[in-house]
Amino acid sequence: MKVRSRYAPSPTGKMHVGNLRTALYEFLIAKHAGGDFILRIEDTDQGRFVEGATDIIYRTLAEAGLVHDEGPDKDKGFGPYVQSERVKSGLYMKYAKQLVEKGAAYYCFCSKERLESLTSTVGGETITHYDKHCLSLSKEEVEAKLAAGEPFVIRQNIPREGTTTFTDANYGDITIENSELDDQILIKSDGFPTYNFANVIDDHLMEISHVVRGNEYISSTPKYTRLYQAFGWQEPTYVHLPLITNEEHQKLSKRSGHSSFEDLIEQGFVAEAIVNFVALLGWSPADNREILSLQELIDEFDYTKISKSPAVFDMVKLRWMNGEYLKAMDPEKYYPLALPYVEKAVTRDCDKKAIADLVKTRIETLCDIPDMIDFFEALPDYDVEMYTHKKMKTNSENSLETLRELLPKLEALDSFTMENLPELVAKYVEEKGIKNGIALWPLRTAVSGKQMTPGGAYEIMTILGKEESLARIRKGIQMLESSCN
RNA sequence: GGCGAAUUGGUCAAGCGGCUAAGACGCCGCCCUCUCACGGCGGAAACAAGGGUUCGAUUCCCUUAUUCGUCACCA
């Protein structure tokens, strides 16, 4: 049987990282087995539909590299792939009625008020357990109510006795008492199927072999099992995933700031790193590698090796991983990503690519760039004390001496390059018999006005150009002169 | 509250009856070095608790604790 997995999101907003991982695992299961990855839009809740949310799903999947083989935009004969469109054909209602025929489901005409009288409060939560009131309606009574146009729902008929067992590829067999299961609604009063029902029907009709979903569905899975059994259909392989939490071991919320793929991109992370990181939240390859491309993930992925316990989404480690991706990235790919951030801080005419290069091994996210390079734009106000560095063995006096002696030599250069600058300074250092740091520390300080900079004096001066560099050095000499007197 | 699941260093995570209990992030130290970073080397740091089973339990069973999930005309 061909492996067919599906990602079935509800278009309600940005793509949560938990959903991203679900989609990724679905994708990996399919691709690892040479199967198909299907995208299905589950928009059965008209009230929660968010305009544009479907576009976000398409865009996110594309950016993450999770290319679907079938979906609303690629019908391979199992369409439509949007549930609201499927509703129109009366398909869900047809299957619901089949269940009614079999006695596995029944019409319910209970009013909201009656339902509310059935609720009880336990541990601060209000819970409802339907009492099968309408199950006792005779066929004639049902027909009469239907004919009278009374609003109705169709509920699943679950016996009060016995147990139901399903098998999860990850958690093994899970058995639940039928009495714990509510007679859930299959068809809502607006004629739409509930998620739980539409899911079963569509997975079967689309011949889905593997269903990956969050842990929170485990308790309702026995209801699915009963549905499959009532229809006489074969159940797919279930793969339930442990929760992803924040540092406080709480569910990731929008407030965490990093709950969605989009948020992370905005925070300067690259798609590949996010995918890589998310893949490792709950799974690890046999050889324990940590940096894996999408193709390597496909090759290595084994859904039977998924962790059962929740994982904390560790931003610190994501930052590290993102840094690894940035460092290893091809220049052609890196520049378009980095340049906009360089230009946020530096508008003057200079080699922006050289600045991007400087910063490449020093950043963890693209957003780190601007703060690191602002001194290229304008020399910041700095303290003369900065020239004094005990490890470099520099102080105001010898710094002033260095700058004064180097200035005319630098002025004599036609232009500054990564060749002539080191050559000139090396010669000077040798003649004076001093250590590199004695000359380079004051130079770098004068030219940057900063304690720490990406790159050294040569790189900075080359980018700044002769004129600006000399102006900054003269400024430094001035500052040192007035402090020495 | 019922039901279900989980529990290896701060975090991710190997382990699947016998190991000095991997590795990674982070942290600390050293080296490299014109600063910062990169890179290299080293260090501190863990099997929730109690009972069994067994010659032997991190690994199997039970109990307890803790955490999480779930009990909708939401997915």
**Token code pair at residue A93:** 């209602």
Strand B contacted by A114 CB (< 7 A): no
pLDDT at residue A124, as a whole number: 76
**Dist. CA A364–CA A343, nearest whole Å:** 18
Helices (H), ranges, A33-133? 53-64, 83-88, 91-102, 112-116
pLDDT at residue A255, as a whole number: 63
* Residue ranges in chain A modelled with pLDDT below 70: 253-258, 484-485
Give, as ranges, the nucleotides of chain B with any atom within 7 Å of a protein CB. Answer: 1-8, 10-15, 22-26, 33-39, 67-75
Q: Which residue is nearest to nucleotide B3 (CA to C1')?
A: A180
Residues A318 and A274: beta-carbon distance below 8 Å: yes
Neighbours of A354 (CB within 10 A): 17
pLDDT at residue A125, as a whole number: 79
Q: Which residue is nearest to nucleotide B2 (CA to C1')?
A: A180
Q: Residue A322 CA to nucleotide B2 C1', Å?
A: 45
Neighbours of A205 (CB within 10 A): 13
pLDDT at residue A228, as a whole number: 97
pLDDT at residue A257, as a whole number: 64
Residues (70-99, chain A) with CB within 7 Å of strand B atoms = none
Q: Which residue is nearest to nucleotide B24 (CA to C1')?
A: A290
Helices (H), ranges, A65-190? 83-88, 91-102, 112-116, 139-147
Strand B contacted by A369 CB (< 7 A): no
pLDDT at residue A51, as a whole number: 84
Which residue shows structure tokens 């610190």? A316
Burial A281-290 (b: 16+ CB within 10 A, else e): bbbbbeeeee
Residues (160-179, chain A) with CB within 7 Å of strand B atoms = 171, 174-177
- Give residue-wise pLDDT tens across range A44-68: 887 787 888 899 999 999 999 999 9
Residues (3-42, chain A) with CB within 7 Å of strand B atoms = 8, 10, 42
**Dist. CA A303–CA A78, nearest whole Å:** 25
- Give residue-wise pLDDT tens across range A378-402: 999 999 999 999 888 999 999 999 9
pLDDT at residue A70, as a whole number: 97
Q: Residue A160 CA to nucleotide B71 C1', Å?
A: 15
